[in-house]
A and B are shown apart, each in its own frame.
Chain A
């Protein structure tokens, strides 16, 4: 057996980042510790499901660009609609921050993560040991926000973040930490986009700590341009009675890996993960979801849809783990893939680890081309082929989209329309 090469990334000057940003001691220590974890790591075993279809080496950026002080990048700062808060993260820093009066009065804060006191919280959902990408991000992340919504606060308007990839050869390492107080309720949307058309890496982490009986609706809407190699990790930790809706939408990028999931740690916690991925050209999309049940009476639901054109390739792996301690839990997982060209490819691999008998768990997966009978039906009503195909794809995605919270859904629907019309 040949060993994968050790991930060599020595001498990361993580202190320089802490110095430049005036970070508190806890953050400095966390970076140093992550650097040590990273130094011990080897690249993942490709026989494991998580990396079977995507080469981990693609996500190892050039040594020189890691931790470099980023250059300013241009970014469009357009956020429509009313918001509780907005923030722009670009060039490794928080560039804009706006907090609506109503949110401010309720005690909501959106702050630059570099100066924040997050000793107990940052890294608690995604520790450096999660994987080499996560260890690297924790050691060198730049450009992060901390969103804190106090107990009992329910926000009618969403919080929206624009997170912009860097310029040529750069590596963007954004970090988002969301703290949802007990019984709080709100929607937060992360828009991942590009300021330039050059190739770059993005290695991002978002952590959501959802307090007892809180309800967080989180959207991750990715529309990088075609030169980006990106890896995004999202984890929600759910306390007793907490509820999370995680929405994923992947449109752009050359090679994209998303690892999203929830840790159902409190009794009665619930997560619903819904995702839509649309690939074209020679895009490679790799999505992994994890719903880890460790408390009784927890519920998880997953619905992930993929539509591919041209020579796009998608891989989906979905893990449901129900611990012995998670009796009377329910889990459902469904992944459906629609192939719109003969060259498109998709794999779907469900993984179930059920350690107790007292559960209800089911899963379904399909990979299928466009249905010829559906297409003929629409053609026979006069719809031109392009429009007929679009309608079928809309219908295919619609059942997932209708479950999404409003702002996330609007963002995603606009991107689907843009993508489908560009195919004509």
Chain B
């Protein structure tokens, strides 16, 4: 007797278009709670398009089935998806001048939890999480991503991941632009989220994040298709051999 494997996120036959150009050509993915999937691939393989389209970015058209906790969410707007427990950590988080990190986080937390969070409770939680990520408390008073360094922006994305506690998160190149210390902090945040049962898809170009985060599965995306899925060793193989051999195999297939 085997228990059915719990599933937090599943997509089937996902196609993504930018205008009339198809950039993702039929992707299937099933993620269990606390599971980390890495999607690797060369530049232009459709990794970021896949992540952004799943969240509902208006620049993309998505077709296919998308389920969160067994519910079809493909017809939901981005804010509805977020409130249903989905999260996207951005590759390039946008600056919103005049809006403080704290006021924004409190508004987001209120939205996803569906209730007002008392100020003291909010502050306590915020400061605990910021400490975990080695962030200066003064950070909370700064304007959202305004004048932030690359590392600060990525830390803020992870802070949001830990505060908003989604069921499923897409992390788009969260490792890019980080020095080794920041990379370790970000990796620790991702591991903490996994321990809290967040299912995650890490979109990444390099192996280096995977030195600190142990994925359960590695998928290789080439020209909009998953051409191989395998154990973490696959990531090391890619690091050693590059993507070309897979592209060639894929071309032959």
Q: How far is the CB of B35 from chain A (nearest CB, A)?
A: 22
Taking a contact as CB atoms under 8 Å apart, the answer to whether B79 and A373 are in contact is no
Q: How far is the CB of A170 from chain B (nearest CB, A)?
A: 40
Q: How far is the CB of A376 from chain B (nearest CB, A)?
A: 6
Complex Cα distance, B88 from A377, in Å, reads 9
Known interface pairs A379-B78, A380-B78, A382-B112; A395-B97 also in contact (CB < 8 Å): yes
Taking a contact as CB atoms under 8 Å apart, the answer to whether A371 and B94 are in contact is yes
User: Does A324 sit at the interface, judged by CB under 8 A?
Assistant: no
Of A371, A373, A388, most B-chain CB atoms within 10 Å: A373
Complex Cα distance, B58 from A388, in Å, reads 15
User: Does B182 sit at the interface, judged by CB under 8 A?
Assistant: no
| Interface hit among A47-55, A255-263, A351-359, A396-404 | A396-404
Chain A residues positioned under 8 Å from B143 (CB to CB): 395
User: Does A387 sit at the interface, judged by CB under 8 A?
Assistant: yes
User: Does B217 sit at the interface, judged by CB under 8 A?
Assistant: no
Q: How far is the CB of B148 from chain A (nearest CB, A)?
A: 13
Complex Cα distance, B77 from A374, in Å, reads 15
Known interface pairs A387-B107, A391-B104, A395-B143; A379-B79 also in contact (CB < 8 Å): yes
**Which of B58, B81, B94 is within 8 Å of A377, CB to CB?**
B94
Known interface pairs A383-B111, A395-B143; A376-B78 also in contact (CB < 8 Å): yes
User: Does B205 sit at the interface, judged by CB under 8 A?
Assistant: no
Complex Cα distance, B104 from A84, in Å, reads 37
User: Does B207 sit at the interface, judged by CB under 8 A?
Assistant: no
Mask: chain B, 45-59; 1 = CB below 8 Å from A; 0 = not: 000000000011111
Chain B residues positioned under 8 Å from A383 (CB to CB): 79, 107-108, 111
Q: How far is the CB of A336 from chain B (nearest CB, A)?
A: 11
User: Does B83 sit at the interface, judged by CB under 8 A?
Assistant: yes
Q: What is the number of contacts between chain A and chain B, taking CB atoms within 8 Å?
A: 78
User: Does A385 sit at the interface, judged by CB under 8 A?
Assistant: yes
Which interface class (under 10, 10 to 19, 20 to 34, 35 or more) fits A? 20 to 34
Q: How far is the CB of A61 from chain B (nearest CB, A)?
A: 39
Nearest A residue (CB) for B90? A377
Question: Residues of B within 8 Å of A, CB-based: how many?
Answer: 29
User: Does A392 sit at the interface, judged by CB under 8 A?
Assistant: yes
Taking a contact as CB atoms under 8 Å apart, the answer to whether A391 and B107 are in contact is yes
Known interface pairs A384-B111, A391-B107; A379-B77 also in contact (CB < 8 Å): yes
Complex Cα distance, B112 from A394, in Å, reads 21
Of A372, A376, A384, most B-chain CB atoms within 10 Å: A376
Of B57, B93, B94, most A-chain CB atoms within 10 Å: B94
Q: How far is the CB of B181 from chain A (nearest CB, A)?
A: 26
Taking a contact as CB atoms under 8 Å apart, the answer to whether A381 and B97 are in contact is no
User: Does A415 sit at the interface, judged by CB under 8 A?
Assistant: no
Taking a contact as CB atoms under 8 Å apart, the answer to whether A376 and B99 are in contact is no
Complex Cα distance, B90 from A185, in Å, reads 49
User: Does B96 sit at the interface, judged by CB under 8 A?
Assistant: yes
Taking Cβ atoms with an 8 Å cutoff, the residues of A that contact B are 371-374, 376-385, 387-388, 391-392, 394-399
26 contacts between A and B (CB under 8 A): A373-B94, A374-B96, A376-B56, A377-B90, A378-B96, A379-B77, A379-B82, A380-B55, A380-B81, A380-B87, A381-B164, A382-B79, A382-B108, A382-B112, A382-B164, A383-B108, A383-B111, A384-B111, A387-B107, A388-B79, A394-B98, A394-B99, A395-B97, A395-B143, A395-B144, A398-B98
Given A373-B94, A399-B97, 11 new contacts (CB under 8 A): A371-B94, A377-B93, A380-B55, A380-B78, A382-B108, A384-B111, A395-B143, A395-B144, A396-B98, A397-B98, A398-B99
Taking Cβ atoms with an 8 Å cutoff, the residues of B that contact A are 55-59, 77-79, 81-83, 87-88, 90, 93-94, 96-99, 104, 107-108, 111-112, 143-144, 160, 164
